[in-house]
Structure 1
Amino acid sequence: MTNTDASGDKNKKGGESIDHNSPIYLHASDYPKDIHMNEVLTDKNNNGWEHEMMNFLFAKNKTGFIDGTIKRPEVGSDKYLCWMRCDAMIKGWLTMDMEKEIRNSMKYAKTATEIWQDLKERFGKESAPKAYKLK
């Protein structure tokens, strides 16, 4: 089980500490409804929502989970459960601020990266005709 020690700086799992600067660190105050976005994601506000979400994830040191640069460790690795917990939290952050129809289409995604890629694909198709029209 992971918790915060008396200093508030480390998560511990089986006696192992995780540096609070590590992307797999979760603070005791982190929870899925923790996010404070101005708007939920709809079919019409993807660009602004994406920008706000990236800022939120950057502040939490979690952008590597959505861009795929922080890879899932092997099952049995010391970091595996910590990574899985972080990814689950990020999936919660992403989906809690989506309108119901979009959220329902994301509920079977296995990772935060999958959700982010699905959103890019979904909304990228709409932006291509707009870009062509502007050009």
Structure 2
Amino acid sequence: MANSNPSVWHSPIRSISDDPSSPYFLHYSDNPGLVLVSQPLTRDNFASWSRAMRIALSVKNKLGFVDGSILKPTDSEVDLLNAWIRNNNIVISWLLNSVSKDISASILFADSAKEIWNDLKDRFQQSNGPRIFQLRRDLITLKQDQDSVSVYFTKIKAIWEELNHFRPMCSCGKCSCDGVKNLEEYVQMDYTMIFLMGLNDSFNHVRSQILLLDPLPPISRVFALVVQEERQRAIGNHNTMNTSSRNMAFAIKNA
């Protein structure tokens, strides 16, 4: 049976660094200047930043260097130790590239990616209570205002998805009653209600029509209905403007 411990990974054919399935493998694009996430870490976004970084590191097969599952080899394992040091330094570079400048200065002299990760987690991970309060407040107070429906929905979805991260869910796969299903339906209804509440008053008609539906459609369908209404208005306004322009041109021509 093959050894599954990445810290003692062995290949009978080639070097561990040449095996694409090994966490020690470095693709030619895995350079120190690579930026893995679009939004750098600040003092207020650790939850979303850490999730994005974990996904990116997982894709690169380097997550073990920050969660501690890939242990540093002993001095006697020279080739393996050199590979570990090289990969550890690459991951450190990626972390430095993915945080704000004032934060990067405080982690520059850390010896391992795991040390940096734990330091950032200890400093910036907020306890659940204050963060949930902030997200709920942002969700309730968010309004469409001058945004398009798509931009407004994107803002709501970003807050909702992070809030969902804190919501307890059944993960055992053995729940057989309808309680979990009913709870999920209620949560989705809450999502839909918040979206509808923040829409501009100009959407009162379509909002009223949606609320009359029983059961309420899923949020994706509600969004599609509102966007459709927005597009129809844009077409109507465009046609009205074209008619007005043609009438004006005709009046000028016959003046």
Shared topology, TM-score over 0.5?
yes
Residues of 1 paired with 2:106 and 2:85: CA distance?
21
Q: Which has the higher strand share?
A: 1
* C-alpha distance in structure 2 between counterparts of 1:75 and 1:107, whole Å: 24
Relative to structure 1, is the Cα distance of residues 42 and 73 closer, same or farther in structure 2, using a 3 angstrom cutoff?
same
The 3-state SS of whatever aligns with 1:32 is coil
Over the aligned positions, Cα root-mean-square deviation in angstroms equals 2.0
Runs of 4+ in 1 over 3 A off after TM superposition: 131-134
Residue 8 of structure 1 aligns with which residue?
Answer: none
For structure 2, the 5+ residue unaligned runs are 1-12, 135-255
Matched to 2:107, the amino acid is M
SS across alignment from 2:39:
coil
Equivalent residues, number: 119
Deviates more, 1:91-100 or 1:30-39: 30-39
Q: Secondary structure at the match of 2:69?
A: coil
Output the CA distance in 1 between the equivalents of 2:73 and 2:46: 31
1:109 offset after TM fit, Å?
Answer: 0.9
> In 2, distance between residues paired with 1:119 and 1:38?
18
Query: Which whole-Å CA distance do the structure 2 matches of 1:48 and 1:109 have between them?
Result: 23
2:43 is matched with: 43
The answer as to whether partners of 2:34 and 2:97 remain within 8 angstroms in 1 is no
Residue 108 and residue 93 in structure 1: after superposition, are their counterparts in 2 closer, same or farther (change >3 A)? same
Q: How does 1:62-73 map to 2 (within 5 A)?
A: 62-73=62-73
- Paired with 1:102 and 1:113, the residues of 2 have a C-alpha distance of 16
How far apart are 1:22 and its partner, in Å?
0.5
* Larger helix share, 1 or 2: 2
- Partner Cα distance (2:121, 2:87) in 1: 21
* Cα distance in 2 between the residues matched to 1:46 and 1:109: 19
Amino acid in structure 1 at the alignment position of 2:60: K
Deviation per CA, 1:7-58: give whole Å up to 9, x if none: xxxxxxxx95221110111112211222241211101111111111001100
**Given the alignment of the two structures, is residue 17 of structure 1 paired with residue 18 of structure 2, yes or no?**
no
Q: Deviations over 1:75-100 (max 9, x none)?
A: 24120000000000000001111111
1:90-101 correspondence runs (5 A): 90-101=91-102
Distance, in Å, in 1 between the alignment partners of 2:34 and 2:51 is 17
* Gapped regions of structure 1 (runs ≥ 5): 1-14
- Change in Cα spacing, 1:29 to 1:99, as seen in structure 2 (3 Å) is same
Tell me the TM-score normalised to structure 2 length: 0.44
Q: Percent identity?
A: 37
What SS is found at the alignment partner of 1:109? coil
- Give the structure 1 partner of residue 88 of structure 2: 87
- In 2, distance between residues paired with 1:128 and 1:122? 14
Give a deviation string over 1:91-127, Cα, whole Å, max 9, x none: 0001111111110110121000000000110013x32
**Alignment partner of 1:23: what SS?**
coil
- Report 1 or 2 for greater relative contact order, CA contacts < 8 Å, sequence distance ≥ 6: 1
